[in-house]
Structure 1
Amino acid sequence: MTEYFDIPHIGKVLFDEFLEPLNLSQNALAKAINVPSNRINAIIRGQRGITADTNLRLTKYFGLTKGYFLRLQAELELLESERKIENDLSNIVPIDYNSLKKVSG
């Protein structure tokens, strides 16, 4: 049986890797990026994902590349989904493009 580590929500990453080490409160971050504090709170609590708008504000504030949080969020979601459907995925046979007849046009 495969052992897995817990896949964190993007909000946990935001808190653990950015807010906590910088001793930055959720309210201070919200004010700095000009969003309602309940948006940051919902992200941190795992009740909301990061939108493109919030991503742009966060990456500007933290000096990161534009898509940093969206790419990380997508990767975390893919890992979680892959775990959930790994049995189904193992039964899918990839298409063999070489065996398809070419249609001349």
Structure 2
Amino acid sequence: MRTINAAPSTVGEILYEEFLKPLDMPPARLAELMDTTYEKIWEIIKNERDITLEEATQLSIIFNTDASFWMKLQELYKTWFNKQKKGYSIRLLNRNT
């Protein structure tokens, strides 16, 4: 068996790498569009805070996605993080051995 411990991408990583960078949109502009502060957007990008359902809905409108996309990203990361923190590991059967 092999253990998979790689962290899934955070909301902030996806937001920055897959949406802001390709659109050449600074975080300050996203903050304006969401009627929030630059600091809050930067905290999301740096994975220092979770997004709210309202923020997920705003992101879905701005980037033509679905709010559940953002919330699922967050839950995947939080689930992985909690398993790591508690010392759990995910084991998969290695069919090659």
- Scaled by the length of structure 2, the TM-score of the pair is 0.76
Aligned to 2:22: 21
Aligned to 1:50: 51
Q: Which has the higher strand share?
A: 2
SS in structure 2 opposite 1:6?
coil
2:67 aligned with 1:66, yes or no? yes
> How many aligned positions are there?
88
- Between the aligned partners of 1:39 and 1:21, the Cα distance in structure 2 is 21
- Corresponding letter in the other structure for 2:29: A
Moved more, 75-84 or 55-64: 75-84
* 1:1-40 → structure 2 map (5 Å cutoff): 2=3, 4-40=5-41
Task: Detail structure 1 runs of 4+ shifted over 4 Å in the superposition.
Answer: none
Aligned to 1:41: 42
Identity across aligned pairs (percent)? 24
* Larger-Rg structure: 1
- Between the aligned partners of 1:23 and 1:76, the Cα distance in structure 2 is 26
- Between the aligned partners of 1:37 and 1:44, the Cα distance in structure 2 is 11
- 1:14–1:44 CA contact under 8 A, matched in 2: yes
- 1:55–1:69 CA contact under 8 A, matched in 2: yes
Deviation at 1:29, TM superposition (A): 0.8
RMSD, aligned α-carbons: 2.1
- Between the aligned partners of 1:6 and 1:81, the Cα distance in structure 2 is 11
- Scaled by the length of structure 1, the TM-score of the pair is 0.71
SS in structure 2 opposite 1:55?
helix
* 1:69-80 → structure 2 map (5 Å cutoff): 69-80=70-81
Uncovered stretches (5+) of structure 2, i.e. residues with no partner: 91-97
Uncovered stretches (5+) of structure 1, i.e. residues with no partner: 90-105
